[in-house]
Structure 1
């Protein structure tokens, strides 16, 4: 298989002890490229340095994750967005994100109003710079799709990472030129909602991700996730859709390369 991991938090400290070995295992498993999305301003510089050392096998998105919002001073929001725009305009990333909306965070210090404001600011950067957007949407699919519909279709599209919405919402999201990425939970026997959604996604909108170190596939529950496990996600997704795993891997890699400019 030739695989493209569209979402891996490789800059997290969980990987500090064996990051190089992890990437060697990933390449041995067929994962030729890993995209690392940022979670907030404090991570941007370190992530850019990591990608610089990646020898062409790594790329990144830069953005503000909704779960980070409670840790950030609201007085710095405008400054952070300006700095984000400067970094993106300089060509240091292939996407805007990770950004989005998160319902539990709205109940724990990161109001939905502030989340929407920061999301719309990042969508504006994606629109103006013609970059794809990497979206985190958790337990607020309806609110998120309304925000995106109100904002309007982005010129470079984007991806709903670790898609957890319904099969019925796939058509609505697709009209916004968005892709759908799946990870470990698609391998779980009881993840029926995710299975139905995975079957509903058009072939040219389908992507794979590890979301490492989180969301490991069924065979590795309780372990730290890593990109080398991505073939297991590909095989489970192919079985759900009644497709050949090698063909699905090749198609999702092509989709990712088109979306992120590789």
Structure 2
């Protein structure tokens, strides 16, 4: 077994909302045994900030570079193309490709769905070329994403499903393909926790990790969220799985080792 420590498998330490106190968050995390934190990639400016933060915390901060599906609605076609060209140059330095995927939530502009799919394919191509794990952002799009993965012959890639909130049936489909499911604060939220606990219970221990998605997806009443709070998610998960917390810490650390 590996050493016992907590991992925040997905957070946004380089989000402009928290840039001024990212170091404070990291120090808080380290003081609470959260020794690894992987940042979800958003756009070229974010990738650059990630690289700078990792220089300061080379053992604690892991990077993922990708063009987030939401950014499709913000960028012009020329900006998207330029961003993808930058990604092709820098992705070799990241621990993972992402976050990438498909977001078909009704509040997203459906006119951009085809562009999302095209960019998802390009991210998968880069991941295959560089043999990098892929961090997936999927909302109401699991079936289509699975189809694209199959079409791209990308089943060999290691996928991490960020903030998994799908059904048991969807979970089983990804588990069959060896994907890692990342569970977040939904395990502690009224309304979503019961369903997620059922999904967690059927997930092989070798295919799960936990995340805060900080500063988003807060579950605390005060609305705050930062990487050190991932301990609360682990604690709840250990209760659901009926295993000692220290064992779960070691298991997740081993699962996360594929990222570095």
The answer to whether TM tops 0.5 is yes
| 1:121-200 equivalent positions in 2, closer than 5 A | 121-191=122-192, 192-200=194-202
Rounded to whole Å, the distance in 2 between the matches of 1:63 and 1:203 is 27
Change (3 A) 1:193 1:150: farther
**CA deviation after TM superposition for structure 1 residue 63, in Å:** 0.2
| 1:78-157 equivalent positions in 2, closer than 5 A | 78-89=81-92, 92-104=93-105, 107-108=108-109, 111-157=112-158
Partner of 2:243: 243
Rounded to whole Å, the distance in 1 between the matches of 2:22 and 2:86 is 28
Rounded to whole Å, the distance in 2 between the matches of 1:42 and 1:106 is 25
Rounded to whole Å, the distance in 1 between the matches of 2:76 and 2:19 is 28
Q: Deviations over 1:194-235 (max 9, x none)?
A: 222111111100111110001123xx2342210110110001
Change (3 A) 1:115 1:222: farther
Asked if 1:253 is matched to 2:256, the reply is no
Matched length = 256
Gaps of 5+ in 1: none
Taking structure 2 as the reference length, the TM-score comes to: 0.92
Gaps of 5+ in 2: none
Partner of 1:15: 18
Q: Give the SS at the match of 1:134.
A: strand
**CA deviation after TM superposition for structure 1 residue 106, in Å:** 7.5
- The one of 14, 37, 40 equivalent to 2:40 is 37
Taking structure 1 as the reference length, the TM-score comes to: 0.91
Rounded to whole Å, the distance in 2 between the matches of 1:194 and 1:58 is 27
Kindly report structure 1 stretches of 4+ aligned residues shifted beyond 6 Å: none
**CA deviation after TM superposition for structure 1 residue 244, in Å:** 1.8
> RMSD of the alignment, in Å?
1.8
